Amino acid sequence: MRSMLLLAVLGGIQAVTAGMDLIDRQFPKLIVLVSSTTPTTVIGTKFEGLISPDVYTEVLFDVPSKVAQLCRVNFHIAREHWAIMGDQPFIFNISTLDRSVNKDKDTWKDRPSPVHWVATVQVTYLGKVTFLNGGDGRVSCAKGKPASFLLHPTAEVGLLNWYELARPLHGIVYEMHN
């Protein structure tokens, strides 16, 4: 039963972009960590993401003014440059934010608030990424505008850490399709 459900979920994600060409893939312009253990400290921008009960990751993409029919936030894990801790696969949410990420200002106590749920993502110890609960990462195409998102855990345990890379494709990206 689980394998059939997994195939249905994976098939749904592939169906989102079936017959469509990937016309652009954007990597984050900013990756900003905010930590509850240092709630008033500005951590600034990083080349890595970290999601735990105590640390959330904000990302900002500079979206080009391209004609796209479908846009989505996607998450990839390659074989290296990442870590997962906890007893279960790590599950996190991706949400839109009520304002842009600010690398010089955002702290745990002063950060943008999540507005709309975009997707729930599961990462296993083998690096398998699955979008859960019917979410596939689709977002309104922010053509020519910045797009900001929050990556935050669904549980009070565990940790996911990754280093953002283009080759191999690894981390969070903004994809545009026609």
Q: Where are the domains of the chain?
A: 2-177
CA 157 to chain centroid: 18
Mean pLDDT of all residues in 13-29: 78
pTM metric for this prediction: 0.87
* Domain 2-177 CATH (choose: 1.10.40, 2.60.120, 3.30.70, 2.120.10): 2.60.120
| CA contacts within 13 A on the Cβ side of 67 | 1
**Which percentage of the chain shows pLDDT scores above 70?**
89
Is 113 in contact with 125 (CB distance < 8 Å)? Answer: no
Cα Rg, the chain, nearest whole Å? 16
Region 136-163: mean pLDDT is: 93
Judged against a pLDDT cut of 60, whether residue 70 lies above it is answered with: yes
Task: Tell me the C-alpha distance between 96 and 108, whole Å.
Answer: 17
User: Nearest 5°: phi and psi at 125?
Assistant: -65, -20
**Over the stretch 85-123, which tens digit does the pLDDT of each residue have?**
988 899 999 999 999 999 999 999 999 999 999 999 999
Q: In this structure, is the dihedral angle defined by the CA atoms of residues 47, 53, 54 and 56, taken in order, positive or negative?
A: positive
Section 30-57 average pLDDT: 97
pLDDT score, position 17: 64
DSSP category for residue 43: -
In angstroms, the CA 42 to CA 153 distance is 20
Under the banding of pLDDT at 50, 70 and 90, the label for residue 16 is low
